[in-house]
Chain A
Amino acid sequence: MSTHQKEICTHSIEELPNNISLAKIFWTFFRIGLFTFGGGLAMGTVIRYELASKNKWVTDDEFLSEFATATVIPGSIAVNIAYLQGYRFRGKIGAATAVMGTILPSFITIFAIAYFGLPYFNHPKVVAFFRGSALAVAGQLLFTGFIFGKKLLVKWKNIVICLISLLMATVLGLHPIWSLITAAILDYFLFTKNNHTSVDPDC
């Protein structure tokens, strides 16, 4: 990691704005949760806009460094970044507020669809719509695989790890979590020299 990033990390919580109200935190993250579709990395851009550009609660560098942490930790990136930013503003209670704000919009939307929509799920028109839209999700997977592959499969190390992980999920039929664990172990123990690729929320 660069010395530049180390410098950012030395900022202490005391230096940051602590007059941000819980209600403000909640509404900011509620908006983030409401207006980000697809989740994950795409949310990074929106969160960065809300927190760094619009409200100026954090600097861009601080945000990027915490975004990197959020991607390393398992689970939804949006929830992780909400926790980290909420914690930075108001400690544990701020973190809980930010996380609630982030997940409530999706919870309410999906709950409403499930509650009112489920009885109509076998209607021919609904089935036809979802048959089409599911193909778009497959297209989206292809696209993500393509972008990811273009970025990662330029190194032999990544190709080997990817193939072994893939074999575990397909040929051996193991739970997908083993692919991830194996990938982490392989990378850590078998390949000692590698460069760190930075995490870019815009990708």
Chain B
Amino acid sequence: MIVSMKILIDLIESFMVIGLSACGGGLVTIPLIQHEMVNVRHWLVSNDIAKILSIAQMTPGPIAINAATFVGFKIAGIIGSVMATLAVIFPSLIILITISSFLKNIKQNEAVIKINQGIQAGVLSLILFAIWSFGSTVISSTLDLFVTIAAFLMLLFLKNKIHPVLVIVLCGIVGLIIY
């Protein structure tokens, strides 16, 4: 696959933004990935996002890295896949390399702890945003809504008895049967 330099640079830039803003881990990256890939770059349509995020949640590892590897491959092949994966961890590595020498102070720094609290509220707002944006993408019928709520209730009431991955696979099988 011949990949233009422009696409590679855009890919790296996008995933560095995602890596930098992925605070509080995991699901908060969903609106970020959706926004960057669909609205900013127009590389993917919302349905691709649904597939990629399902795969990311079913396979081991952090969701941002999984999404980076997958989207990178889809957009620019092997080189894209490696570049996107490195780009997504790059911002945190730079921050860690810079602060690891005086880390003991950071831990006790009230300002950092305080900001982290505020960020948690921001993370919640992004999760709510993701419920709306991702939900409106994947839920298109009453039946869809029913399956979503069933998954939610399973997670809520069987919290320690059922692995989240199992819920995803189960819903996939339900999808195979009903769609």
Interface 1/0 per residue, A50-94 and B, CB below 8 Å: 000000000000000100110111111111100110010000100
Pair A187/B121 contact, Cβ less than 8 Å: yes
Contact A75 B20 (CB under 8 A): yes
Nearest B residue (CB) for A183 = B122
With A176-B32, A177-B21 known to touch, is A39 a contact of B115 (CB < 8 Å)?
no
Does any Cβ of B come within 8 Å of A18's Cβ?
no
Residues of A contacting B170 in the complex (Cβ-Cβ under 8 angstroms): 136
In the complex, are the beta carbons of A162 and B128 less than 8 A apart? yes
Chain B residues touching A, majority SS: helix
Scoring B residues 50 to 70 as 1 if CB is less than 8 Å from chain A, else 0, what string do you get?
A: 110111111111111110011
Check A107/B65 contact, CB under 8 A, given A133-B175, A169-B129, A187-B115.
yes
Residue of A nearest to B96 (CB): A83
Kindly state the separation between the CA atoms of A37 and B63 in the bound complex, as whole angstroms.
Answer: 9
Contact B114 A194 (CB under 8 A): yes
- Contact (A76, B125) CB under 8 Å given A110-B69, A141-B130: no
A160 to chain B, nearest CB (A): 8
B163 on the A face (CB < 8 A): yes
- Mind listing 25 A-B residue pairs with CB under 8 Å? A5-B107, A33-B61, A37-B61, A37-B165, A71-B24, A71-B116, A75-B20, A75-B22, A76-B19, A78-B61, A87-B100, A102-B61, A107-B85, A111-B73, A114-B74, A137-B30, A137-B53, A138-B139, A139-B154, A141-B131, A142-B131, A143-B152, A148-B123, A169-B125, A176-B129
Which are the 8 A-B pairs with shortest beta-carbon distances? A132-B175, A187-B118, A106-B61, A183-B122, A75-B92, A139-B151, A40-B25, A40-B26
Q: A76-B64, A149-B128 are in contact. List 14 more A-B contacts (CB 8 A).
A: A39-B66, A40-B63, A74-B21, A75-B22, A106-B62, A131-B50, A131-B175, A135-B138, A136-B57, A136-B148, A139-B151, A165-B126, A170-B132, A187-B121
